[in-house]
Amino acid sequence: MKQTTSRRLTFQNRFLRVDLDAAEVTWSVTEKATGVVWRMAPSAAQDVTVADTAGNRRAHAFASSADRAVQASRNGLPGACIGLRDLGLGIHAFLDGRALVVEIERCAGASTTRRATASRRWPFTARRSATAAWSRSPRRPSTSTWP
Amino acid sequence: MVAIAETPFDLYVAMSHLEGEAPATFFHWLPSLGDLRYTRRVRFTFGRGLDFVQQAKLYRRHVQREGYFVSLADKARGNPNVAKLKGAAWVNSSTGSRRMRTLAYTCHTFADQAAWVAQLRERTGLKTGVVHVDGWGAFGYDSVHPDVLPPNREAGGAAGLRAFREQVGRMGWLFGLHDQYIDIYADAPSYDPARFMIKENGRPNLLNVWCGGLCAHLCGTESLKFVRRNFVEGVKDQYMYHNSPSIYDLCRPDASYLDCFCRIHECFHPQHPLTRAETAWYQRECLRTVRGHGRKVVQSCEHAKWYAIPDLDFSYGLGHQKADVLVEGGGHETQAIGLPVPLWNLVFHDAVWTPEHSSEYGRAFLYGSSVFFHAQAELPPDDELAWKMKLCRFNEVVGFDEMTDFRMSGDGQELRSEFSSGVGVTYCPAEKTCRLDGPRSVSTRGSVRLP
């Protein structure tokens, strides 16, 4: 799969099928043997908190990203990488047997040097406490809002 | 479905169970020193029959693969003293306590404690036990850490402590000292803000709660230095009127308790920043330092976490995850939400020996735990002694077993655990009745009522 801006895509193996909505940054996972579907909660305003160089923090939803791209999984397994480049965040999801593996990582954006410090819960309901801090500068630690 | 964080150090787990919504748990990834310094990974495994027992067993296989699991049987092969934990009792023995805020002071001599332990041994007939000596340091319990040497002079000093240890050794029991390398007290000669663990807001953790008064938290890098000094090298600085030999040289303990480990923090001190994973590494090095050097020490701390399991032999404060809420009565009482289940035991019961601190005998049987005694002039009542002895005998059978299953029927009206030696425990909390089945040595005839 080449880089795409497609809103929806599916990847699967013998056991599981994942339907990805790249626009909303959500998945659903279907267990093929039973038909049970596990849905990720919708993207929410508290997904991540970004701290700028002045230390000002602001919460963002993953879905608020205006600069995103979807690529195939980089390890050859069925999956996808979603780059939320203006948030400096990469989400890599791939199937490994009966498991869905999700990785959250920093990714350099096209127009920003923001650096991720943490990210949120998956795949359940959003909570107000589901925040994390980010920093623009690699040398300056940001202040997080964790309890 | 079960979710396992394969990058487990910088996260916390939140739980939610609101009316009208499915109960849920959440991974919240935390920054590492203020940054997403590495890729975070979680593995969601789907499949039929993944109830909490199977979830725990899946996690057990994960920690085994990752090298965080060493069974008690394997530990006993490397250190014969570990085998003495099976069927043993934890015997707490208190020396000195100097509470700075109230100026209350108590001291029991090492000779008195030795006599009380001997009395308990004679009354119970226990072949094996672990004596845990509190407050043996220069100024008693939770005071002047990390500069606890030399042993409390009023209690009998180094000679008294050594005599106490030798008597316990002759009884065939294990002898261990309670020690602590998290706090640094304001009146300790080693007190220096350069050693503090610094929080993200640039401040140290200062508290005035424990016996010894004002203290701060040590950075993990500093903890290891003091463990090496106190246990192995001895004190080389001229302080507290003389240099002190190491704890090893003073009394050759064959057990040890390092308090407050298995909690991990970051340190933002510019000269010694430390991530949570690095803090865990330093804590493990502390445990290895005490346990190493061929001295066959059995090691303990509270609330054992996965990363320390290979370096720990026993621990308390375990059993089940419970969500407590503060009862709105103005006090500090809490109550559990929901029905606790022994996830920890389902994973680690055969890797860490677990004495039960409380007098909840039903839970102790259910979780295959052993018991606590306090060494004191007055022996416990006969009824308490009898039940604790039954638990020790039961622990002799299941103490090193894997907990293979746990079931509940009704709304927790009947709980049942099963162990790898074929023993089953059925406990009814409301009626306080317990039934043991399996080998004849432990089986009960029907249910028995617990106190």
What DSSP designation does B395 have?
H
Higher pLDDT, A15 or A129: A15
A98 neighbourhood in chain B, CB within 8 Å:
45-47
Whether A139 has a pLDDT exceeding 70, the answer reads no
Answer yes or no: are the C-beta atoms of B414 and B438 closer than 8 Å: no
Q: How far is A1 from chain B (nearest CA, A)?
A: 23
Token pair in block for residue A4: 């795409």
User: What is the reported pLDDT for B295?
Assistant: 83
Interface of A with B in 72-111 (CB under 8 A): 92, 96, 98-106
- What are the pLDDT digits (tens) for B280-298? 999 999 999 999 877 899 9
Whether B34 has a pLDDT exceeding 90, the answer reads no
The rounded distance, in Å, linking the Cα atoms of B143 and B122 is 33
Average pLDDT score over residue span B364-373: 96
Position B18, amino acid: L
Whole-structure pTM value:
0.90
A102 neighbourhood in chain B, CB within 8 Å:
41-42, 44
Position B397, amino acid: V
Average pLDDT over chain B reads: 92
B40 neighbourhood in chain A, CB within 8 Å:
103-105, 118-119
Distances (CA, A) of B360 to A14, B73, B384: 48, 27, 11
User: What is the reported pLDDT for B446?
Assistant: 87
Using a CB cutoff of 8 Å and minimum separation of 24, what contacts does B62-71 make? B62/B4, B63/B306, B63/B309, B63/B347, B67/B310, B68/B306, B68/B307, B68/B309, B68/B310, B69/B309, B69/B310, B69/B348, B69/B351, B70/B309, B70/B310, B70/B351, B71/B350, B71/B351, B71/B400
Q: How many CB atoms lie within 10 A of CB B13?
A: 12
Determine which helix (DSSP H) or strand (DSSP E) holds A28, and give its type and residue range. strand A26-31
Contact B35 A33 (CB under 8 A): no
Is the omega angle on the peptide bond into residue B150 within 30 degrees of 0, that is, cis? Answer: yes
DSSP B55-122: HHHHHHHHHHHHT----HHHHHHH-HHHHTTTT-EEEEEE-EEEETTTTEEEE--HHHHHHHHHHHHH
User: What is the reported pLDDT for A137?
Assistant: 29
What's the complex ipTM?
Answer: 0.89
Q: How much helix, strand and coil, in percent to the nearest 5, is found in chain B?
A: 30, 25, 45
Whether B156 has a pLDDT exceeding 90, the answer reads yes
B19 touches chain A (CB under 8 A): no
A43 touches chain B (CB under 8 A): no
User: What is the reported pLDDT for A131?
Assistant: 31
- What order of strands is seen across the sheet that includes strand B215-217? B183-185, B215-217, B206-207
Whether B149 has a pLDDT exceeding 90, the answer reads yes
Closest alpha carbon within chain A to B273: A141
Q: Dihedral angle at the C-alpha atoms of B151, B152, B158, B162, nearest 10 degrees?
A: -90
Whether B17 has a pLDDT exceeding 60, the answer reads yes
Higher pLDDT, B345 or A127: B345
Total H helices, total E strands in chain B = 11, 24
- What are the pLDDT digits (tens) for B175-212? 999 999 999 999 999 999 999 999 999 999 999 999 99
Select the residue of A16, A102, A132 nearest B31 (Cβ to Cβ). A132
Determine which helix (DSSP H) or strand (DSSP E) holds B132, and give its type and residue range. strand B129-134
User: What is the reported pLDDT for B230?
Assistant: 95
Position B247, amino acid: I
DSSP B328-376: SSSSS-EEEES----HHHHHHTTTSB-EE-SS-HHHHHHTT-EEEEE--
User: What is the reported pLDDT for A115?
Assistant: 37
Banded pLDDT at A135 (limits 50, 70, 90):
very low
The CATH number that domain B72-318 falls under is 3.20.20.80
Answer left, alpha or beta for residue B246, where phi above 0 means left and psi between -120 and 50 means alpha: beta
Average pLDDT score over residue span B425-430: 95
Answer yes or no: are the C-beta atoms of B312 and B287 closer than 8 Å: yes
User: What is the reported pLDDT for B239?
Assistant: 60
- What are the pLDDT digits (tens) for B90-138? 999 999 999 999 999 999 999 999 999 999 999 999 999 999 999 999 9
Nearest Cα neighbor of B369 from B425, B413, B407, B321 is: B425
Query: What is the three-class DSSP state of B224?
Result: helix
B6 neighbourhood in chain A, CB within 8 Å:
101
Average pLDDT score over residue span B350-375: 93
Query: What is the three-class DSSP state of B306?
Result: helix
Whether B330 has a pLDDT exceeding 50, the answer reads yes
Contact B24 A124 (CB under 8 A): yes
- What are the pLDDT digits (tens) for B215-274? 999 999 999 999 999 999 998 876 655 688 999 999 999 999 999 998 899 999 999 999
Closest alpha carbon within chain B to A50: B35
Select the residue of B21, B27, B47 nearest A98 (Cβ to Cβ). B47
The values of phi and psi at residue B234, to 5°, are 85, 165
User: What is the reported pLDDT for A88?
Assistant: 77
User: What is the reported pLDDT for A141?
Assistant: 29
- What are the pLDDT digits (tens) for A87-110? 878 889 999 999 999 998 877 643
**Residue spans per domain, chain B:** 2-48, 72-318
User: What is the reported pLDDT for A52?
Assistant: 66
User: What is the reported pLDDT for B30?
Assistant: 84
User: What is the reported pLDDT for B402?
Assistant: 98
The rounded distance, in Å, linking the Cα atoms of B434 and B363 is 10
Determine the length of chain A.
147
Banded pLDDT at A44 (limits 50, 70, 90):
confident
Whether A85 has a pLDDT exceeding 70, the answer reads yes
